[in-house]
Structure 1
Amino acid sequence: MTRTLRGAIAVASTVALSLGVVATTTGASPGQARQDVKIGLLLPESKTTRYEKFDRPYIEQKIKELVPDAQIDYYNAAESATTQQQQVNTALAKGDQVLILDAVDAKSIQSSVEKANKAGVKIVAYDRLAQGPVDAYVSYDNRKVGELQGKALLDALGDKAESGQIVMHNGSPTDPNAAEFKAGAHSVLDGKVKIGKEYDTPNWDPNNANQQMSGAISALGKGNIVGVYSANDGLAAGIATALEAAGMNVPLTGQDAQLDAIQRILLGTQTITIEKPYKPEADIAATMAVNLAQGKPLPEDLTPTTVTSGSGQKVPATLLTPVVVDKENIKDTVVKDGLYTVQEICTPAYADACKEAGLE
């Protein structure tokens, strides 16, 4: 288990313990304190495998651990900001006291956040910081993600950094995290390598990324492209397909530690991904939501910092630290952290690559 993961779990465990303490000191029994907890969970999409495979089950599991009788209303917006606004209305109509919200569009959801706030409903911004009167926020240090990606790309390029151009795929313009990844990457890459083409990719669509990469290859010439910055693994999947079709294999970054990305890293068609362990983030969001649903203040160790949203609100927050995953540390990161088993990674198509990397 990584030091980052151990630390985040310790924070969540400390806060979980504090729930019982607060219930006792307010004169209510734990059973009384845990009645009538209603939480809405609103996730943005399912094309990225993390949301249905990890985020949703981890959040629901932690809420039920803290409050066995809690009502959890789940919604997935399928990449539609309009759908998510309608889902907020539905959650409010159902009487949810707290919404754990991962916004499709951080700006357009502001009116819904304001509506919830006026109704006395608390908002925990999850992974992406929505605009408006948000009550708490948990995510990873997204600028640090971009910095780590940029450094990994430069390290992989070596002397080639000065002899060609890179292509950048920065993700969805409606996702505030994408802007932070981009800023972090540019802070490392600018002045060190020439950026031949740079793209935003609406809705983090891998098919779009594939078309963009094919266009960049045609425009720049495949012999002039020495590396590709991809903000996440979904985009990297589309990019890798375009590179393969052009007979190219250059350093390629990613993020989210998706299973297919780990397998591409083993094959050498992707260089790194960024692991952001989902369980600590999910546990903290669930604990925040339960505290708020029960009318309790958030413990200071759960919100050690403050961030400013795009609409100017100061929001108490936890920002966790991301981890770089490459071919050398797969066993000590995603396997040790319980994200995947060796058997899940090392299917027959990847058996030789796994053996070479010591995954047996």
Structure 2
Amino acid sequence: MSACRRRTAIAAVLSPAMAVSLVACGQGGESAGSGGTAPGEGGFAIGLLLSQNVQTRWEAFDKPLIEKKIKELCADCATEYANAEGDVATQQQQVETLIDKDVRVLLLSAVNFRSLRSSVERAHDAGIPVVAYDGLVEGPIAAHVSFDNEQVGRVQGEALLKALGDKAEGGQIVMMNGPQTSPTHLAFEKGARSVLEGKVRIGKTYDTPGWSQETAHTNMDGAIAALGADSIDGVYAANDGLATGVISALKAAGIDPLPPVTGQDADLAAVRRIITGEQYMSVYKPFKAEADAAAEMAVALGRGEKLDRIADTTVDTATTKDIPAVLLDPVPVTVDDIKATVVEDGVYTTEQICIPEIASACKKAGLTE
């Protein structure tokens, strides 16, 4: 490992004004990076490690969008990809594998933001800057790309209050959160509670390991049994997968009409449920903007460039301060917003959304004629 490359990783965890710059690196006969290629010249390998595939977005959107943008920015760069499928030990081994492969930068969506700290430290010690993708991770990360996750929670909470109408004051809801091991879950819940607490009664709160739909279904069964079918005015579901489990439990209990249920990620199945009225809303997070920013950061770090032109803010973790960051704005999606968001942005076509089973609902929503 060259001294130049080690300095790159160290500098990359500082504030944007002190971000990595290798103007002097590669001089005096010293090579930098794999294959003896100085940063800024030729291609290099970028590791991409995603945390899970329970949510369809990761394989369907994030992975191909990141890979495409990397190729646009660096035609000779290669992407080394792996998905941990929700397993911490698997992801730790994947990090080790990519360190051995001498990738120059690592894009990491961590399964567990604390348990992956040692892996981030290993990459840092190997001179490989780590970009935390979609959620933060402890350890000396070089940069962070995500959405403003507290704002995601606030958007969900505000939408739920709007859907509750007169029941917003004193009504009772259930909170179906993600896993405690996810920093994004903690931010979602914090944002949602900042809006909901003091307005509605939170009758039951659940954490959902692995973002499991089945666990969400089981937990919702428990909430119905504990609170009563007629006493649940709404459900805060942190994402569309959890909303799937929640709604299936509500339907199995014979609850009709269904109370408003939130979601997130604008999964295709969720968009269809929004059209039919089974789910009130989701949160659309323009994946291309997030993927593009991550790819730009990775390529810039690999070339030894500053992040000032990309990162417009900083974030802190328990271990690292002033991390250069891009935090994008989430967009609420109800039945009235589908055409102007996921359809207009080309995420889904109306033909993909409007299957025969929901044709009449699509027409009513103004998606088809």
Alignment match of 1:130 (pick from 137, 140, 148): 137
Pair 1:163–1:223, CA change in 2 (3 A): farther
Alignment match of 2:297 (pick from 277, 288, 300): 288
Partners of 1:162 and 1:284 in 2: how far apart? 40
Partners of 1:313 and 1:199 in 2: how far apart? 31
Residue in 1 aligned with 2:12? none
Whether the 8 Å CA contact 2:39–2:304 is kept in 1: the answer is no
The TM-score normalised by the length of structure 2 is 0.88
Whether the 8 Å CA contact 1:34–1:67 is kept in 2: the answer is no
Whether the 8 Å CA contact 2:157–2:193 is kept in 1: the answer is yes
Aligned-pair CA distance for 1:69: 1.8
Residue in 2 aligned with 1:13? none
Residue in 1 aligned with 2:116? 109
Aligned-pair CA distance for 1:203: 1.0
Pair 1:148–1:32, CA change in 2 (3 A): closer
* Equivalent residue runs for 1:180-259 within 5 Å: 180-248=187-255, 249-259=258-268
Alignment match of 2:91 (pick from 84, 87, 91): 84
Once structures 1 and 2 are overlaid, which stretch shifts more, 303-312 or 280-289?
Answer: 303-312
* Equivalent residue runs for 1:1-360 within 5 Å: 33-162=40-169, 164-248=171-255, 249-298=258-307, 300-360=308-368
**RMSD value, Cα:** 1.7
Partners of 2:247 and 2:160 in 1: how far apart? 15
Aligned-pair CA distance for 1:310: 3.1
Structure 2 portions without partners, runs of 5+: 1-21, 28-37
Question: Aligned with 1:302: secondary structure?
Answer: coil
The TM-score normalised by the length of structure 1 is 0.90
Partners of 1:304 and 1:149 in 2: how far apart? 25
Runs of 4 or more consecutive aligned structure 1 residues displaced over 4 Å after TM superposition: none
Partners of 2:305 and 2:187 in 1: how far apart? 31
Aligned-pair CA distance for 1:139: 0.4
Deviations 1:315-344 (A, max 9, x none): 110100000000011100110011100000
Aligned-pair CA distance for 1:350: 1.1
Whether the 8 Å CA contact 2:221–2:249 is kept in 1: the answer is yes
Structure 1 portions without partners, runs of 5+: 1-21
Partners of 2:220 and 2:151 in 1: how far apart? 25
Q: How many residues align?
A: 333
Partners of 1:180 and 1:294 in 2: how far apart? 32
Aligned-pair CA distance for 1:163: 5.3
Partners of 2:366 and 2:110 in 1: how far apart? 39
Aligned-pair CA distance for 1:36: 3.4
Question: Aligned with 1:203: secondary structure?
Answer: helix
Partners of 1:90 and 1:134 in 2: how far apart? 18
Partners of 1:48 and 1:32 in 2: how far apart? 35
Partners of 1:121 and 1:36 in 2: how far apart? 15
Partners of 2:97 and 2:361 in 1: how far apart? 48
Letter in 1 for 2:272: Q
Aligned-pair CA distance for 1:162: 3.8
Whether the 8 Å CA contact 2:275–2:361 is kept in 1: the answer is yes
Partners of 2:320 and 2:130 in 1: how far apart? 16
Whether the 8 Å CA contact 1:37–1:293 is kept in 2: the answer is yes
Aligned-pair CA distance for 1:104: 0.4
Deviations 1:174-197 (A, max 9, x none): 110111110110000001001110
Residue in 1 aligned with 2:14? none
Whether the 8 Å CA contact 1:44–1:77 is kept in 2: the answer is yes
Partners of 1:58 and 1:259 in 2: how far apart? 17
Give me the identity figure in percent: 52
Partners of 2:250 and 2:313 in 1: how far apart? 41
Partners of 1:174 and 1:201 in 2: how far apart? 10
Once structures 1 and 2 are overlaid, which stretch shifts more, 154-163 or 31-40?
Answer: 31-40
Letter in 2 for 1:256: D
Whether the 8 Å CA contact 1:133–1:313 is kept in 2: the answer is no
Partners of 1:206 and 1:126 in 2: how far apart? 23
Aligned-pair CA distance for 1:70: 1.1
